[in-house]
Structure 1
Amino acid sequence: MNFRAVFRGRVTGKVLAQQSGAKNYREATMCTSSASGQDMTNWLWSIYNETKKQTEALIPVISKNSVNPNTIFANNEMSLHDIEIYGFDYDYTLAFYSRHLHTLIFNIARDILIQEHRYPEGLREYEYIPNFVVRGLHYDVQKALLMKIDAFHYIQLGTVYRGLHPVPDKEVIAMYDGCHVPLENMSDFYGKSSHGHTMKQFMDIFSLPEMNLLCCVNDYFMKHNIDYEPVHLYKDVKVKRPEQNSEQW
């Protein structure tokens, strides 16, 4: 608190009370409170504006020139007076990640497979492919197929990949007896696959290198005619996936 500003406000209030001919102490007190409050308000605004300038200079990403006002929405039905605790999601809020994050995760997970699980050294030839996958894709754990499935659980033909190569539509229809995937085979909204759920959905930003790695390993095994169990590959990649802790990146 700026005690000098508060003291100056009180003195000003007394002077105003005397000049206005205040008849009693109550009127003088009211003038004092008003002047002190105004002085404190001005001081707080000056601190706010100075802090805002420093923030915009240090973090251009959140400056007024980088934020689209049309993408910011207010919740008018919630009163902040009723909120006692505020929480923040690190990802792209308090923590901003560079474009090298996914490459780093991919390389670490790939090296763990080679060093700890004795996967072939030839996997080091594979690098992260930035535009190969997107969030929201499904992965058939038992068939080692990556695909897009719509909201009605229909496989989108032309989006099914085995390794790094597309699977012909006729082959997809033959494997699934059509294009519809039963609900009991789907993972839940958050992409968690429990027993019997063979379709794992990749939802978060950290899933991009995970999908990349699965496809690259599948591609390597097929190229070199290596017999493997897709379920174990999925478990190895999932278990050895680097921790998704924002502080590491």
Structure 2
Amino acid sequence: MQIHPTIDGLRAALDPLRAQGARIALVPTMGNLHEGHASLMRQAGTLADVVVASVFVNRLQFAPHEDFDRYPRTLDADCARMQAAGVSHVFAPSEGELYPQPQTLRVVPDPMLADLLEGAFRPGFFTGVATVVAKLFNIVQPQVAVFGKKDYQQLMVIRQLVRQMALPIEIVGGETLRADDGLALSSRNGYLSAAERAQSVQLYQALSAARDALRTGDREFARIEHDALSFLEARGWSPQYVAVRRQADLQSPSAHESSLVIVAAALLGTTRLIDNLEV
């Protein structure tokens, strides 16, 4: 496995492979990797000849009050995990390498998708995501890229980016990997205290109850959402949203639609967790 801190170094390694007809997959990350990331990298390995993983904590997607400075940087451990997952090339640029000038040119997603749910609580987040991903796509020029479904709205924003900009990249959604008790694996789980970690499964329980109701044909969406919010609030959470939406575009569904997703974000103590379940 080769580690590249510069754009020129990565391109010099990939260009000969591309010339030989190799299919290249990209898995973008912010590091502090866990088994969920590794599963995406292994999935990428089934879709391409060469797997590139990027490790970059992207300042553009953090609001001033968020945890950019304390976000864990664990490159040595990350590299060991990536190598075990079959990654061939790691792109690990400094901030100055990826943004040698202030990134005044931004990719602004469609507000109909990007300004609801996560976008409503984290204004500008998806602009930061879309900007850095577009830049990584230009640098790596993959034929396929794998993103986790845990960040459901993010995956949809990236799919819209590729579709509307006519980028020749297949976007694949990797299934959410969960702990034995159902908690979705996330880098931010490391912020939880032992007591909070034991309690954190309640988010998955709330979503599971909502999914079970929908599977029975219940289409009282507002009540289902209210029940999930009340479940969390009664147990000391500070939920920001629990919403039943269409899988296709995250808009509010009509009663006859069947391809649904329940998305949620909630604070447990000071840690913000997100999750979703498709129906």
The reply to whether TM is greater than 0.5 is no
Considering fraction of residues, name the structure with more helix: 1
What's the TM-score once normalised by structure 1's chain length? 0.25
Specify the structure having the higher radius of gyration (Cα). 1
What's the TM-score once normalised by structure 2's chain length? 0.23
Considering fraction of residues, name the structure with more strand: 2
